[in-house]
A and B are shown apart, each in its own frame.
Chain A
Amino acid sequence: DAKTTQPPSMDCAEGRAANLPCNHSTISGNEYVYWYRQIHSQGPQYIIHGLKNNETNEMASLIITEDRKSSTLILPHATLRDTAVYYCIVSDNNAGNMLTFGGGTRLMVKP
């Protein structure tokens, strides 16, 4: 079973920030939070990962709560090409850094 809970779908207006929440209340101390997305009929694309500090890269920002039980992925200026399924994954880097994908959030960016 996936260790994360995400809303099944969200809408966002083009140009606005998209905030995608993820609950991971059973996360353990050595587990990282990863975000990937999958655009229709393509392989998943890595976005960002973090342990406990907030992280930012050219694609997105990752905000992890202090208790690490939840996180939010922020796409600062969503475009139509950001329409995809977004997966929040926790992994402890052992057992082959196995990524356990759940259902994800289907983000629809609308004009």
Chain B
Amino acid sequence: ETGVTQSPTHLIKTRGQQVTLRCSSQSGHNTVSWYQQALGQGPQFIFQYYREEENGRGNFPPRFSGLQFPNYSSELNVNALELDDSALYLCASSSGTPGTAYEQYFGPGTRLTVT
């Protein structure tokens, strides 16, 4: 148990719809990252937030967006869902500061299925 929680556990959406996934960071953690893991592959970095500001982004289109709140919980929003968006979405929290080496603690993920 890492203390990182995600909701919902599973979600089914239709192509073209929008979805919001939520993550509660471990207490005291001010940084949250989001990853997408397609079946049979390693996680792919989407973006990271540090103290409510985006602090890095992977190779994902703008329809993937996020928010981090003052309590450091976070949301991942995906607009105009495509079939290829079906994946496990993971969030990871940490207490490190940008530019330093630190471990990230992952939640159990949200399984999104787009039909």
A97 interface neighbour in B33, B35, B44, B106, Cβ under 8 Å: B33
* Residue from the set B48, B101, B108 with the largest chain A CB neighbour count within 10 Å: B101
Q: Which of A45, A51, A93, A104 has a CB less than 8 Å from the CB of B98? A: A93
- Chain A residues with Cβ under 8 A from B50's Cβ? 96
The answer to whether B92 touches A43 (Cβ under 8 A) is yes
Q: Contacts A32-B101, A45-B106, A94-B99; is A101 near B56 (CB within 8 Å)?
A: no
Q: Total interface residues on B, using CB and 8 Å?
A: 33
CA distance A96 to B53 in the complex (A): 11
Distance of B77 from chain A, by nearest CB (Å): 18
Residue interface bits B24-50, CB-to-A below 8 A is 1, else 0: 000000010101000001111101101
Asked if residues A97 and B104 are in contact (CB atoms below 8 Å), the reply is yes
Encoded as 1 (CB less than 8 Å from any B CB) or 0, chain A from 92 to 107 comes to 0111111111111000
Chain A residues contacting B63 (CB-CB under 8 Å) are none
CA distance A44 to B106 in the complex (A): 6
Interface residues of B (CB under 8 A from A): 2, 4, 31, 33, 35, 41-45, 47-48, 50, 55-58, 90, 92, 94, 96, 98-109
Query: Mind listing 30 A-B residue pairs with CB under 8 Å?
Result: A32-B101, A42-B109, A43-B2, A43-B4, A43-B92, A44-B92, A45-B106, A46-B104, A46-B105, A51-B101, A93-B101, A94-B98, A94-B99, A95-B57, A96-B47, A96-B48, A96-B50, A96-B56, A96-B98, A97-B48, A97-B56, A97-B98, A97-B101, A99-B33, A100-B45, A101-B35, A101-B42, A102-B42, A103-B41, A104-B42
